[in-house]
Amino acid sequence: MIAAVIHIGIDDTDLPGTPGTNQLARRFAAALPPGLTLVVALRHQLLFDSRIPYTTKNGCASLLVRGGSGQTARLLPILQRELRAWYQPGSDPGLCVAEEVAPVIVEFGRRCQREIVSREDARLLARKHRVHLEGFGGTEDGVIGALAGVGLLAGGDDGRVVHRNGWQWPDPVSGWLPVAEVLRRGVDEVRDAAGAAVREGEIDIGKHLRPSYRNRRVVLFVELMDDGGAGGRWRALKLP
């Protein structure tokens, strides 16, 4: 039996010079009550357009949480409390929480990556499909990215991993790691740009380990720097 999951989306929670939405996602993960477990926290790239207000590059965040069915009512007040404590005056936060995610919401997330959508679009869709969506201040534009984050997470084929169970923050792991160590840190697969599996060698992960979420799996994409030594030396590719 597959355990039920909860999809969480957040957006527009910060201002220049303040901690970003990815850090709020980690705070949410730390606040999960007993019986609920983080599967993955992701950062998604939405449409990068000068007509859209954003802090840095118009990204939103999502979390996939595993637990028993019907746990949203228990979890929601905790997330609301954490978001209110985090709130930066002048920001426009949005929060979305859903257990079941309709295909049309997945498509909404993809739309937000290629075109401008409105708060009204997001709210109408959430009401129609009984998805919890709320704003916490300012223009409440964050409801757009929050719903998009839930849709992209549920689609299972988008995003960069910013947190998993057992990862520290700040994460002290950087630079060169053996492929085996990368896999031990919660990466399901290491693949080159052509999609071939990489099972040996060393990888320069850079400042942080930032794999991608593809086909509902955590995948680190790499490129070959040189083929000297067993398995070669690889560089991590940080994809959206």
Arithmetic mean of pLDDT, 162-167: 92
**Bond prior to 170 in cis (omega within 30° of 0):** yes
Q: Which pLDDT belongs to residue 52?
A: 65
Average pLDDT, the chain: 91
Q: Which pLDDT belongs to residue 227?
A: 78
Q: Residue 5: is its pLDDT beyond 50?
A: yes
CA–CA separation, 85 and 70 (whole Å) = 25
For residues 15 and 101, which has the higher predicted lDDT (pLDDT)? 101
Which domains are present in the chain? 5-161 (3.30.70.2200), 170-237 (no CATH)
Arithmetic mean of pLDDT, 157-168: 94
Output phi, psi for 88, to 5 deg.
Answer: -105, 120
Q: Residue 57: is its pLDDT beyond 80?
A: no
- Look up residue 5 and give its two tokens: 């999951």
**Count of H helices and E strands in the chain?**
6, 12
In the chain, the percentage of residues whose pLDDT exceeds 90 is: 74
Q: Which pLDDT belongs to residue 29?
A: 96
Q: Residue 24: is its pLDDT beyond 70?
A: yes
CA dihedral 83, 84, 86, 91 (to 10 degrees): 90
pLDDT tens for residues 86-144? 988 888 999 999 999 999 999 999 999 999 999 999 999 999 999 999 999 888 999 99
Q: Which pLDDT belongs to residue 1?
A: 39
